[in-house]
Amino acid sequence: MVYLDFEKPLADIEGKAEELRAMARKGDGTLDIEKEAAALDRKSSDLLRDLYKTLDPWRKTQVARHPDRPHCSDYIAALFSEYTPLAGDRAFGDDHAVMGGLARFNDAPCVVIGHEKGNDTKSRIHHNFGMARPEGYRKAIRLMDMAHRFGLPVVTLVDTPGAYPGKAPRNAANPRPSPAAP
Amino acid sequence: MKCLEIGVPLVSVIIGEGGSGGAVAFATANRIAMLEHSIYSVISPEGCASILWKDAEKMRDAAEALRLTAQDLKKLAVIDRIIPEPLGGAQRAPTQAIAAVGAEITAMLAEMSDMKPAQLIKDRRAKFLAMGSKGLAA
């Protein structure tokens, strides 16, 4: 569990409750320990409710970026069946920040497209932290065209800090970085 | 732009961060929903603060001014629905949050089940042209 900075007091209480339970498990526990831990649980759930009742916009931003939040791949795995990923933009390459393909939603065929951020350092780098490059958007366009052709509804799942602000934009007409001048 | 042209139902759910053009490219939809604690904005609060006040540390003020929360955007009619999250955010009960998103997608697709392609394109266009006509003043 990753705690956000405003959740610090919550982390303290939940940590203490966990500690008490660990002590109880070791065997030197009496009934009092469980009672104590339950009291802490109540305190932490009250605090959680208070904290989330009025989140200011900055705190919301932090929650929206929470690393443990379910990501696009989690939604696709849970809500869609027969997901068949389609890769590549037919011009330059594949962008791992954008995932998409054919799938079934409630058994009806559809196209699903979304940003994927990744869950650990390795996968975050692989997915470029959810920041799509031009080829990612070309892939999305390709999938939307396909949906249009086959009359399939499109579901998009948005989760990106923004498009990747890299230099040297790569376009379909000039997919490779230009060769060095002679 | 492709989003505006296709004659099929397009629904979009903002599940975390909806950052700038990267997000709107996917969210040019007939129906847009946001999770309760997700954000959708033209720029990150840090980016906004550093451009406006040359101080990225003022992100709290920027977040306030940007109107990036689902609640504000619903009032501004930029989005259609807010999907409630489990207490403490989607990260505390992912299964529950994912199921809620699934139910909303079902509902949004159902609303468009008998719309013709031309109608869908017109509906999407009208939605984006109307943005900005509803204010926070009410």
Q: How many A/B residue pairs have CB atoms within 8 Å?
A: 182
Percent with pLDDT over 70 in chain A? 88
pLDDT value for A171: 54
**What mean pLDDT, rounded, does chain B reach?**
84
Q: Give the 3-state secondary structure of residue B55.
A: coil
- C-alpha distances out from residue B22 to A15, A103, A132, B96, Å: 38, 23, 7, 27
Percent with pLDDT over 90 in chain B? 12
CB-nearest to A52 from B12, B87, B99 is: B87
Q: Could you tell me the pTM of the whole model?
A: 0.83
Which residues, listed in sequence order, are joined to residue A110 by a DSSP beta bridge?
A: A103
Which residues, listed in sequence order, are joined to residue A25 by a DSSP beta bridge?
A: none
- A45-49, B108-112, B124-128, B131-135, range with the lowest pLDDT: B131-135
Over its C-alpha atoms, chain B yields an Rg (Å, rounded) of 16
- C-alpha distances out from residue B64 to A89, B32, B39, B58, Å: 38, 22, 12, 10
Enter the ipTM.
0.87
Q: Any CB–CB contact under 8 A between B114 and chain A?
A: no
pLDDT value for A180: 47
Q: Determine the residue among B35, B37, B80, B95 to mutate to test chain A binding: the one whose Cβ has the most chain A Cβ atoms within 10 Å.
A: B37
Q: Per the structure block, which two tokens stand in for B52?
A: 């406006």
CB-nearest to B21 from A64, A72, A163 is: A163
Q: Which residues in chain B have their CB less than 8 angstroms from residue A78's CB?
A: 95, 98-99, 102
Q: Which residue of B has its CA nearest to A72?
A: B15
Ramachandran bin of A106, using left for φ above 0, alpha for ψ from -120 to 50, beta for the remaining angles: left
Q: Give the 3-state secondary structure of residue B11.
A: strand
**How far is C-alpha A64 from the geometric centre of its chain's CA atoms?**
9
Residue A104: is it exposed, middle or buried by C-beta count within 10 angstroms (0-12/13-18/19+)? middle
**Which of the four pLDDT bands, split at 50, 70 and 90, describes residue A175?**
low
Distance of residue A120 Cα from the nearest chain B Cα, in angstroms = 15
User: pLDDT tens, A91-122?
Assistant: 887 888 888 999 999 989 999 999 888 888 88
List, as one string, the DSSP characters of A104-115: EETTEEEEEEEE
